[in-house]
Chains A and B, each alone.
Chain A
Amino acid sequence: MNRKRKLQQLLKSLVQPLTAVLIGLLTGAVAISLVGASVLETYKVMWDGAFGNFYFVTATFARATPIILIGLGLAIAFRAGVFNMGAEGQMVLGAVSAALAALYVPGSGIIKILAALAAGFLAGGLWSLLAGWMETRFKVQLLISTLLLNYVAVLFAGYLVSHPFQDKSGSAALAQTPMIDQVAWLPKLFPGMSVHMGFVIAIVLAIILFIILRFTSAGYEVRMLGYNPFFAEYGGINKIKVLLYSMFFSGGIAGLAGTVEVLGSQYRYVEGSLTVPGYAWTGLMAALLANSNPLGTAVASILLAALQTGAMGMERNTEVPLEIASVIQGVLILFVTAKITMNWWKVKKKGRDIHGAA
Chain B
Amino acid sequence: MELLDLSFFTSAIRMISPILLAALGGALCARVGIFNVGLEGLILAGAFSAIVGNYYSGSVLVAVLTGALGSVLVSLLFGLAAIRLKANPIVAGIAINFLVLGLTTFGLRAIFDVKGAFYDKNMEGLPKLDIPVIEGIPVVGKLLSGHSPLVYIAFLAAILLYIFFYRTVTGFRVLAVGKNEAAARSLGLKVTLLQYGAIVACGILCGLAGAQLSLGQVTMFTEGMTAGRGFIALVAMMLGQSHPIGIVGSSLLFGLMDALSIRLQGFSMPTQFTAMLPYIITIFAMFFLKDRGADSQLSGQQSSR
Distance between A38 CB and nearest chain B CB, rounded to angstroms: 16
In A143-189, the 8 Å CB interface with B consists of 143-145, 147-149, 151-152, 155-156, 158-159, 162-163
Distance between B301 CB and nearest chain A CB, rounded to angstroms: 5
Q: State A151–B230 Cα separation when bound (angstroms).
A: 13
A330 in contact with B102 (CB, 8 Å): yes
B162 on the A face (CB < 8 A): no
Q: State A135–B106 Cα separation when bound (angstroms).
A: 40
Q: State A162–B275 Cα separation when bound (angstroms).
A: 15
A152 in contact with B87 (CB, 8 Å): no
A83 in contact with B238 (CB, 8 Å): no
Please name all residues of chain A whose beta carbon is closer than 8 Å to the beta carbon of B109 when the two chains form the complex: 35, 321, 323
A141 in contact with B102 (CB, 8 Å): no
Mask of A320-331 contacts with B, CB within 8 angstroms, 1/0: 010111111111
- Interface residues of A: mostly helix, strand, loop or mixed? helix
B305 on the A face (CB < 8 A): yes
**Closest chain A residue to B275, Cβ basis:** A155
In A322-347, the 8 Å CB interface with B consists of 323-335, 337-338, 340-342, 344-345
A82 on the B face (CB < 8 A): yes
Please name all residues of chain A whose beta carbon is closer than 8 Å to the beta carbon of B90 when the two chains form the complex: 83, 85, 143
B102 in contact with A155 (CB, 8 Å): no
Size of the B side of the interface (Cβ < 8 Å), in residues, is 49
Q: Which of B94, B97, B110, B286 contacts A144 (CB 8 A)?
A: B286
In A71-101, the 8 Å CB interface with B consists of 80-83, 85
Q: State A335–B299 Cα separation when bound (angstroms).
A: 20
Given contacts A155-B272, A326-B101, contact A145 B286 (CB under 8 A): yes
B87 in contact with A323 (CB, 8 Å): no
9 additional contacts (CB under 8 A) given A151-B279, A338-B86, A349-B301:
A35-B109, A229-B305, A278-B98, A326-B99, A329-B98, A333-B94, A334-B92, A340-B88, A342-B87
Partner-B contacts on A (CB < 8 A): 31, 34-35, 80-83, 85, 134-135, 138-145, 147-149, 151-152, 155-156, 158-159, 162-163, 229, 243, 278, 281, 284-285, 288, 321, 323-335, 337-338, 340-342, 344-345, 348-349, 352, 357-358
